[in-house]
A and B are shown apart, each in its own frame.
Chain A
Amino acid sequence: MPDIITLFTIEQIVQNREHVSAVELNDVTFGYGDTVAVEGVSLSVEEGEFLGILGPNGSGKTTLLHLMIGLKQPNRGVVRLFGQRAAEFEDGERVGYVAQRATDRGDAMPISVRETVLMGRFPHAGHSRIGGEDRAAVERALDRVGITDLADRPIDRLSGGQRQRTFIARALAAEADLLALDEPTVGVDVDSRTAFYDLLDELNAEGMTIVLIEHDVDILTTHVDTVACLNRRLYHHGDTASFLESDAIEEAYGRRSGVLDHHV
């Protein structure tokens, strides 16, 4: 019995002393049947970091993002979210996730902007009633992304950029610490796209940890501070400057890819 207590306290001390990353992947492998989608990836995302995931189509970017936030369990290796195993992570409100083309959902389903943002409070509220504090958080979030005047509109009457802001507001209302975005600006016009990335920069400057997938190398490298270049395995993981100097993109996309001529 005393041994167990000693072990426990030692582990606690180690944990306390250890610095906790927002996301930590240790030799993670995931496959669909016989097809390996992500192989031997180790990387960590520190709190306050802005990580961009880059890679050709079918390179496992979405799978990697899903592994990071616990939507998928690795076949091998360990994923930790804020120090806890991702599969056992329970603070749902700490992660705000916007799936690929998530914003299309409002096309057929009538739902207002405010209702969508209020969903961010659902993990806080559970089965109890939505209270004044929840409503206040929603109004703050709407105001922060600048869509207060659109709050009562149905989502299908918004532009692509406005919809993305709605989803970001949902994460803000949840008081999320980590934003996970899968190709957020697909179908968004160029101006709104720039404005959207500026918003992400601001949120990041305020301390929000952001992980996003983006296929456009130029816009990605302008905004993020770390790049993970993936094609099943990790070709590069480091700050944006080191990525731009490296050959990672040629290697990941394959040397004869047309994408290269444009960017190198």
Chain B
Amino acid sequence: MSQDTADQTDESADTLADDVGPNRLLSSGRLRSGLEYLGLGVTGALAVAMLALVVFDWLQTFPGTPGAVGETGFEAYESAGRVVDSLLGTNVFWVSTTLRAVATGVLVGVMAPLVGAFLVHRQMALIGETLAHTAFAGVAVGVVVAGALGLSGSAGQLLLVALVVSAAAALGLQWLTAHTDTYGDVPIAITLAGSFAVATLVISWGEGAFPVAIDIRAFLFGDSAIITAGGARLVAVLTVVVVALVVVNYKQFLFITFDEQAARVARLNVGWYNSLLVVMTAVVVVGSMQILGVILVAGMLVIPSAAASQLAGSFRELLVLSVLFGQVSVLAGLVFALLADLPNGGAIILAGVCIYLAAVAVSGRSAGQLSVH
């Protein structure tokens, strides 16, 4: 990291003097991108391993051969957890709830920064915060729906309702922004407060009317204890969908993010891609809510990309670094939270903030910018 820092500073200094040693720049750039792609590969492998964990966990619920395969697979992860435990001197990583929390965390650490990179540069950083509040209202509505239909009200069911409510709110918000003359953040603030108001009313009313037990605190602040097999499965599906959508629509998202008007002139369906992006944000938010909590979800969308923006020299590098920083925050935060017996959400976001501050300290991007003009 410190080697990288020195190269970064030299690079900008060279550029400013407009006397670039091309060979040095090239070799340091190569080392840097090599390390980045290595990190990305490790993250990818980790994410695939976590998807497999969720699949094994799911297979376990079936009878016969699939069930046996699931059990064997899951046991392998438990053994891996024991190895981690013996290394750290703990006794938590082999527990199935911990494994599910790690899986959820790793997957959230991939999809949230990926979508967040576009949001940050569309100047839509706060939309995640708002959609988290609508998702919270969705959970409250889910309690009522589950109660009324006589369902169990499991985390998976509540999140599914939250997903629908949040996606609908995302589209509503999009419409409101397009059809009002106020500044862009006014409809966002109104939706944020409005949906939280709905949530408080529905929860108070639902608690009295239906016998569904819901741990509001866990949804507000994030708690690995509420991550059920169903919840982890939902996150796994959502991650695959979100990553696939970003891959397929990368060019279109990049174009509208960088230059919306030129994208319109190029006859891209800007309205469609904007809607897709906000709905994807809603999806990410609902997926991240269990582990981060409503109030901290926006942090995972914004902080890794903000840190990456300080260092990256291209958009591709921005995406790679965002995912890496997101992943490091999640893993460091989870381990810290487990060791110290503190909430995940706070630990993960704080780890992200530390990375961000370090990125600001080493980049000197804003300083470089000012002297170029």
Cβ of A98 within 8 Å of any chain B Cβ, yes or no, is yes
- Please, what's the 1-or-0 string for A94-110, where 1 marks a CB less than 8 Å from any CB in chain B? 01111100100101111
Residues of A contacting B265 in the complex (Cβ-Cβ under 8 angstroms): 69-71, 92, 95-97, 180
Residues of A contacting B373 in the complex (Cβ-Cβ under 8 angstroms): 160
- Please, what's the 1-or-0 string for B229-273, where 1 marks a CB less than 8 Å from any CB in chain A? 000000000000000000011011011011101101111100000
Cβ of B87 within 8 Å of any chain A Cβ, yes or no, is no
Chain A positions 75-120 with a Cβ under 8 Å from a chain B Cβ: 89-93, 95-99, 102, 105, 107-112, 114-116, 119
Give A66's nearest chain B residue, CB to CB. Answer: B261
Q: Bin chain A's interface residue count.
A: 35 or more
Contact A156 B372 (CB under 8 A): yes
Contact A157 B15 (CB under 8 A): yes
Known: A92-B268, A154-B313, A156-B369. A127 touches B248 (CB 8 A): yes
Least CB distance from A133 to B in Å reads: 15
Residues of B contacting A93 in the complex (Cβ-Cβ under 8 angstroms): 266
Cβ of B82 within 8 Å of any chain A Cβ, yes or no, is no
Residues of A contacting B267 in the complex (Cβ-Cβ under 8 angstroms): 89-92, 123
Main secondary structure, interface of B, reads helix
Contact A153 B313 (CB under 8 A): yes
Residues of B contacting A70 in the complex (Cβ-Cβ under 8 angstroms): 265
Known: A91-B267, A98-B262, A174-B266. A115 touches B369 (CB 8 A): no
Contact A157 B368 (CB under 8 A): yes
- Please, what's the 1-or-0 string for B314-341, where 1 marks a CB less than 8 Å from any CB in chain A? 1111100000000000000000000000
Cβ of B202 within 8 Å of any chain A Cβ, yes or no, is no
Known: A122-B255, A157-B372. A110 touches B317 (CB 8 A): yes
Cβ of B124 within 8 Å of any chain A Cβ, yes or no, is no
Residues of B contacting A160 in the complex (Cβ-Cβ under 8 angstroms): 373
Cβ of A159 within 8 Å of any chain B Cβ, yes or no, is yes
Cβ of B288 within 8 Å of any chain A Cβ, yes or no, is no
Cβ of A195 within 8 Å of any chain B Cβ, yes or no, is no
Give A106's nearest chain B residue, CB to CB. Answer: B258
B residues sitting closer than 8 Å to A (CB atoms) are 12, 15, 29, 121, 248-249, 251-252, 254-255, 257-259, 261-262, 264-268, 308-309, 312-318, 365, 368-369, 372-373
Given A98-B262, A102-B259, 5 new contacts (CB under 8 A): A97-B262, A110-B309, A110-B315, A119-B258, A122-B255
